[in-house]
Structure 1
Amino acid sequence: MRQLPPLSALRAFDAAARLGSVTRAAEELGRTHGAVSRQIRSLQDHLGAPLFDKAGAGLRLNAQGLALHAVVAEALDRLEQGWRRVRDEARGPSVHVACSATFATRWLAPRLAGFYAAHPEVRVRLSMTSAREMRDEGADLVIAWDWRGFPAADQARAIPLAPVAFGPVCAPAYPMDAVLGREIAVPSRIAHDHTSSAWDQWAAATGRAVTGASELSFPHTHLCIEAAITGLGVALVERRLIAAELADGRLRAPCGFAEFPQGLVAIPSGERPMTASARQFVDWLTGALVTA
């Protein structure tokens, strides 16, 4: 017999710990303030020790609370992921794919009709997230190019999909000339918050460097692209993501595009065997990327 406190009390504790407030926890859970307070008191009674200290009008986890929340948060995350997986499987074959929001919206989603045409029985669920958060989505597959910083076990499971090629892009009238030599100075360089090594990788691949008198940084590639289109600076972008802008002249690539050595990969979950649906998606995606 498991000796655990009620799940409702653990959920109330988790919400209060994350939000730092019983009131906000009650709002998130759809319960009254009094009900959440009673659940937290019940949990503390089971433990025989307090879990929070007062912090002004809010709450702050004490040492016992921090230790318990680390366990509870991980358990609830795994429970949620497992529930979604079983629910999805019960509804029929499916594949949960995590990738960057820019890749999903600019390249993948417009082509999903091709996958559905080949596999109408399989449902695709997308998690669009930043590169920093992708490994925590509980997905069947994580699609990434900047994956060399992932844990060794993830890297060992990586399935190559296609090469990636990056190039500096800017608005047509932006002052950037490809013939300036090895060092290319521009008024402003645009960087990505979570893949800041991209400019260094481009320099290593080409033997050239773009330096900016100033630098702008954004958390999503889409924002970097939009900033370049409006003339705010020079962004470094994978060629597939800006094919339309290059074709219609909203962006230009004075230096062309250089392949990065690691390429785009699919990383299957390490918690369970790769499903048939996931394999079908990988095979389709590989073919679609090659023809893009």
Structure 2
Amino acid sequence: MARRLPPLASLKAFEAAARLGSVTRAAEELGRTHGAVSRQVRALQDFAGIALFEKAGTGLRLNASGEALLPVVTQALDQLEAGWQRVLDDARAPSVHVACSATFAMRWLVPHLAGFYRRHPDMHVRLSMTSAREIRHQGADLIVAWDRATYPERDQARSIRVADVAFGPVCAPDYRVAIKGRRLTCATRILHEYTSRAWSLWQAHAGLAVANTAELSFPHTHLCIEAAVAGLGVALVERRMVRDDIAQGRLVAPAGFVAFADGLAIVPASERLETPAAKAFTAWIADELADGP
């Protein structure tokens, strides 16, 4: 039976206009004229037989029907885009889409990726660099993560541990930190906005309590590290992420590093965990991480 669906172009126009709150901005993003996008939105409403928008000043605002439709269209377009890209990637070469934090990508994965291509020159790795909050919305096959508490139980059960991780507080060499008894004292503690439980885990594993008078928070570990380098406070980071900074004297680790029991893992984000490219990447990253400090 034929599918009774509106044209894809009208759904794309609706999603862009709804997300951006403007037909003009949607037209700029889609590379179409204002009139063309407006006609596509109108055609979608005609097809549905209901209004999806209402006027809001000089822009548009979704009505109740539009609010209900938007997440359905967004999810469908995301899945279509991810599937389309996967088909193209696989046609060019066996591929795997890997998502990880921007900091891990910049400070470890990309600098080591040449080793994967030397071992597997016929395979392709597609990367998504994203924050911990957004990491599950990129259409990835595999996610590299140490903090897996928020993932579905099924994904946690299927995750593959690939390396130990060790976290420690770091700061600029001249930043004042005191460790007396079982207490680390500093003026400002730097937090990651989406993995703030790392400090609680570190205190439990290290047997040290942290006493601070102020806090700063950032959405990426890279920003936390740079804030520590700038002398803004003490950040908690995985040792691989700051190995070079410590070696070059930009940072010190006054309490050393302690291992977190769960370690770093590959978490499946699709049903492609058993593809040759996914298995090759998982085996390679385990070997590469094992060779590091």
TM tier, smaller: over 0.9
Q: Does 1:43 align with 2:26?
A: no
Equivalent residue letter for 1:15: A
Amino acid paired to 2:93: G
Secondary structure of 1:134's counterpart equals: coil
- Tell me the alpha carbon deviations over residues 118-163 of structure 1, each in whole angstroms, 9 at most, x when there is no partner: 1111111111111111111111211011111111122122110111
| One-letter amino acid of the counterpart of residue 112, structure 1 | L
Deviation at 1:183, TM superposition (A): 2.2
* More divergent stretch after superposition (267-276 vs 84-93): 267-276
1:89 maps to 90
1:214 corresponds to 2:214? yes
Query: Is it true that 1:205 corresponds to 2:190 in the alignment?
Result: no
Give the structure 2 partner of residue 124 of structure 1: 125
Counterpart of 2:189?
A: 189
Whether the aligned pair in 2 keeps the contact of 1:268 and 1:274 (CA below 8 Å) is no
In 2, distance between residues paired with 1:289 and 1:19?
42
The question of 1:260 aligning with 2:267 is answered no
Structure 1: runs of 5 or more not aligned: none
Report if aligned partners of 1:98, 1:141 keep a CA contact under 8 Å in 2. Answer: yes
Partner of 1:113: 114
Q: Which residue pairs with 1:149 in the alignment?
A: 150
TM-score, normalised to structure 1's length? 0.97
- The gaps in structure 2 that reach 5 residues or longer are none
Mapped to 2, the partners of 1:174 and 1:159 lie a distance apart of 38
Q: Following the alignment from structure 2 to structure 1, what is the Cα–Cα distance between the partners of residues 204 and 190?
A: 18
The reply to whether residue 73 of structure 1 matches residue 74 of structure 2 is yes
Instruction: Percent identity, please.
Output: 62
1:241-269 CA-to-partner distances (Å, cap 9, x unmatched) read 11111112111111111111221100123
Normalised by the size of structure 2, how large is the TM-score? 0.97
1:140/1:274 contact within 8 Å kept: no
Q: 1:272 to 1:283 in 2, by over 3 A?
A: closer
Q: Is the 8 A contact 2:136 2:269 kept in 1?
A: no
Contact conserved, 2:273 with 2:279, CA < 8 A, in 1? Answer: no
Give the C-alpha shift of residue 206 in structure 1: 1.6
